Structure 1
Amino acid sequence: MTSTRTRTAAAALLAATALGALAPAAAHAASGPAALPAPFTTAATAQAREAASSPATLHTLSRFFARSGALKADAARPRLAGPSVTVYSLTPGFVAGTPGAPVAAPRFVASKAVSADGQVASLWTVRTTQGWKVVNIATGGDETDYVGKAHGRGTVFQEPQIDAWYVVRDGRVLPLDPDARRAVGEGGVSLAAYQRLVHKKYGDKLPGSAYDRAGKGGGYDGTPAPPSASSAHAATATTSTAFAAAGAATAAAAVLAIGLRRTRRARRVAV
């Protein structure tokens, strides 16, 4: 876990849950993890990118990039940079050891945005009953950067509880960042070994568990956790929790109006 974050092992609900953006369930095989679900289609990704580049989103991005006061909003001139990508996240079925459950599934589409002075942010877009909506703006470009560093060799996914990034390649889970290397070592582990690892860490925190019933974090449902906020932006943490229980339109509007942020340290990526 990064030094700038404090997060319970049970991931809090992202607005995607309230917005109906859960990924399609994968069919269970007789044994072993299933093949990873396909990423969002080209057409769906284009729709997500359209939402991320809408005038309303760009206006919010301008204010987001100007939040420190070093840059005026009307001088931010945000633009999208690089391709929009499907972001996969660890699934609760895999954590539980459900036969045939894939290690990860698509959760949202990420698009990198850049300001005139070089700031970078990531837009998280989910499919709702009202179309694709931007539900979060996060500092940095991890979501698109790690996918790019894999060079199309395998499927990149996140273990959100510790903000670790991996690539599944040739039946192995390989680390892409320091948090992942601390979890699985430099050479990675087999899928079976990784399943045992995450089951040990999170298996007792799934929905319906004693941990869940005790109200210690809501249980791990596989949805990426909202970013934590710095003390200077504590209000965003409250918002990220509140909009998880809100209606679709309200939740999307809340995020666009406030521009959630997360703090994360600089990373070097190695494959």
Structure 2
Amino acid sequence: MRETSTSRTRAASRLSRLATLLVLSTSALLAIAGPARAAAPMDPLPADIPDYQAALDLVRSADVRATVCSFLSAPLPDGTGPGATQSLPDKADPCEGIPAFTVNDPLALNEITPGFVAGTSLPIATEAIKLSHLVSALNAPVNGRNATVMLAPTDGGGWHLAAVRDGDSDAAYAGKATVGTLVFTEPQIRGWYQLKLTTVEPLNDQARQGLNGQSSVSLSDYQKLVKARYADKLPGSEYDTAGMSSGYGAASRTEGAPSSTPVVVGGSVAALALAGGVFALRRRRNTDA
């Protein structure tokens, strides 16, 4: 009996040492992985973005760089109306005289889905939020001015240039996404929100107004708010077909546009549009906080 007791004691001791080793190994892995993620909380999580390498290649391409240079080489329009336009300088080298800059890696721009607004989708992240565009701001202001490149998904896969917009607020808000949270926009009011599990929190003044001044609401309650605001304004609704507005989700209509046709997506001070081969700079009312 003494031998059996000793054997059991030794076996228990080995199991204890093994458990301790596993705990220490796991802790070591977490210690390595944790700071790496903490050091880069603004990672765009490219695994969640389809064709991410194609998006990277596009924002680093000579064509996109030339388009950004053309945008930055023109002063803001003199007109103060939302539709004011100004032709861009015609230079053989659009980047001539423009200080060196780089375009940051693309970030996901998510927005609420029509089904979520209509109340036909469940109030869960996978049905409430969709990837709409990618946004890439410049690494630093150029002559005191920043700009954001916006990419839209192309039919059949990949991405194309949708717009170049003044400022970097879209990328700044998109970059607030962290592991376990999701940042999205309510484009009709330029509201930016952060989703933590099933809790929606505002990130700017427009979002706070969209939540009626509340510091947070459940995703289910947020769905009730947007349904009341937009359910009767969805594409195909009487409000939409009567031409009273572009209908809900107008920003996503850039999908499928050819890569040579950047279009204006409203909300920034200015955006670069290319239609029929003619560049124009359009001033937009700035509604960001």
Shorter-chain TM-score range: 0.5 to 0.7
Equivalent in the alignment of 1:26 = none
Equivalent residues in 2 for 1:167-182, closer than 5 Å: 167-182=194-209
Instruction: In structure 2, give the amino acid aligned to 1:45.
Output: Y
Of 53, 59, 68, which aligns to 1:52? 59
In structure 1, the residue matched to 2:152 is 126
- Distance in 1 (alpha carbons) for counterparts of 2:178 and 2:255: 37
Q: Which amino acid aligns with 1:258?
A: F
Indicate whether 1:149 and 2:159 are aligned: no
Match of 1:105 in 2: 130
Q: 1:79 aligns with which of 87, 98, 101?
A: 101
Conserved? CA contact 2:162–2:259, under 8 Å: no
Q: What runs of 5+ residues in structure 2 fail to find an aligned partner?
A: 1-44, 77-88, 263-272
Change (3 A) 1:193 1:49: same
Residue aligning to 2:229: 201
- Cα offset for 1:176? 0.3
Distance change >3 Å, CA 170–CA 136, structure 1 → 2: same
**Does the 8 Å CA contact 1:88/1:106 hold for their aligned counterparts?**
yes
Q: How far off is 1:191 after superposition?
A: 0.8
User: Does the 8 A contact of 1:61 with 1:259 survive in 2?
Assistant: no
Report the count of equivalent residues: 211
Counterpart in 2 of 1:29? none
Deviations 1:155-200 (A, max 9, x none): 0001000001001113111000011111112412111111111111
Using a 3 Å threshold, how does the CA distance of structure 1 residues 39 and 245 change in structure 2: closer, same or farther? closer
Would you say the 8 A contact 1:125–1:133 is kept in 2?
yes
Mapped contact 2:200–2:219 kept (Cα < 8 A)? yes
Q: Return the index of the structure with the highest Cα Rg.
A: 2
The CA RMSD over aligned residues, in Å, is 3.2
Q: Which amino acid aligns with 2:69?
A: S
Identical-pair percentage = 30
SS in 1 for 2:235: coil
Q: CA–CA distance in 1 between the matches of 2:256 and 2:201? A: 37
Pair 257,118 (structure 1): closer, same or farther in 2 beyond 3 Å: farther
Whole-angstrom CA distance in 2 between matches of 1:108 and 1:245 = 9
**What TM-score, normalized to structure 1?**
0.67
Q: 1:78 to 1:109 in 2, by over 3 A?
A: farther
